């Protein structure tokens, strides 16, 4: 596909690029609908959308095994509650999680492709992705090549995503836009469209490393792009908020946007995720009515 075809797809989009209009639209949705979504059932649903994440330099086979055991133990201690959606780790720990995880409903997600900067050889990104899948990953989270994007090399951006999608084989590919670096609605819109047309199964806001994390304004633009793409192609793309989503109120706000923009059919952990480490205990505390430190 030529650069012209990418530009045609971007130019054909009706999604707003007006930052002030986005902020106003988000506020209107929250003012009208957020309060109704602070319910126990929605808190339980949100818990079931968490990609429980550890992405630290100090991660080790032992610490990741303990992290995974906490998910196994949750199943035993709280059988009446849904578990998290996935465990998200660095790619070299996919085999550790696969060996320890005893809960069939929880997927294994790995960051790959030179996370979090996406600055390495494409061959290395492909190899890392393939090795993560071979090690047991069901889902791969990669970062869009911001350097290519900001240079206007849309063909380079899209070719790389397509290659990495192929390397995930039957797994699902989440493309991280790093919206805190893209900053504007116009950039976020372009990056969303390019990612979807290149094979992304999910659009994800942020790495949580080095740039501002998820924002409601960015989510609004991404969701509008997902909605438009679905109307044009019939293909449903997932949405994942990540980076700083650490309390119940914020999680409910992302849920509210998804419900009002994308509709009920997106309110499943197949199409809606939150990447988090601290959120799990806080949501669990709000569900149970007392402080919890399970994870």
Could you tell me if 119 and 76 are in contact, meaning their C-beta atoms sit under 8 angstroms apart?
A: no
Could you tell me if 276 and 51 are in contact, meaning their C-beta atoms sit under 8 angstroms apart?
A: yes
Catalytic residue from among 138, 204, 217, 286: 204
Could you tell me if 242 and 276 are in contact, meaning their C-beta atoms sit under 8 angstroms apart?
A: yes
- For the question of residue 8 being annotated catalytic, the response is no
- For the question of residue 14 being annotated catalytic, the response is no
Catalytic residue from among 125, 240, 259, 286: 240
- For the question of residue 138 being annotated catalytic, the response is no
Catalytic residue from among 107, 141, 217, 286: 141
List, in sequence order, every residue forming a beta bridge with 173; answer none if it has no partner.
140
- Alpha helical stretches, state H, 101-170: 122-135, 146-151, 154-167
Torsion, Cα 55 166 177 217, to 10 degrees, reads -110
Q: How many CA atoms lie within 13 A of 195 on its CB side?
A: 31
| Alpha-carbon distances of 25 from 89, 125, 127, 265, 276, rounded to whole Å | 35, 37, 42, 21, 26
Q: Cβ contacts of residue 51 below 8 Å, gap of 6+?
A: 84, 85, 86, 87, 88, 109, 240, 242, 273, 274, 275, 276
Which positions are annotated as active-site residues? 141, 204, 240
């Amino acid at each position: 596909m030529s650069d012209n075809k990418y530009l045609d797809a971007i130019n054909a989009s009706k999604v707003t690029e007006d930052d002030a209009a986005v902020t106003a639209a988000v506020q209107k949705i929250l003012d009208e609908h957020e309060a109704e979504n602070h319910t126990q059932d929605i808190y339980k649903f949100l818990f079931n959308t968490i990609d429980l994440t550890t992405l630290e330099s100090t991660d080790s086979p032992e610490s990741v095994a303990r992290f995974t055991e906490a998910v196994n133990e949750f199943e035993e201690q709280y059988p009446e509650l849904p578990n998290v959606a996935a465990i998200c780790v660095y790619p070299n720990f996919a085999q550790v999680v696969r060996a320890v995880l005893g809960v069939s409903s929880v997927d294994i997600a790995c960051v790959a492709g030179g996370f979090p900067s996406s600055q390495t050889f494409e061959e290395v990104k492909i190899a890392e992705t393939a090795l993560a899948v071979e090690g047991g990953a069901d889902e791969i989270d990669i970062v869009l090549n911001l350097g290519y994007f900001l240079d206007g090399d849309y063909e380079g951006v899209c070719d790389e995503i397509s290659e990495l999608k192929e390397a995930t084989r039957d797994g699902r590919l989440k493309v991280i836009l790093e919206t805190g670096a893209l900053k504007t609605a116009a950039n976020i819109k372009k990056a969303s469209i390019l990612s979807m047309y290149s094979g992304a199964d999910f659009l994800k806001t942020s790495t949580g490393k080095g740039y501002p994390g998820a924002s409601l304004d960015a989510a609004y633009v991404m969701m509008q792009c997902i909605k438009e793409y679905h109307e044009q192609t019939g293909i449903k793309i997932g949405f994942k908020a990540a980076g700083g989503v650490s309390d119940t109120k914020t999680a409910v706000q992302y849920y509210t946007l998804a419900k009002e923009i994308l509709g009920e059919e997106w309110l499943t952990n197949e199409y809606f995720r939150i990447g988090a480490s601290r959120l799990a205990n806080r949501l669990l505390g709000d569900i149970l009515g007392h402080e919890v430190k399970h994870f």
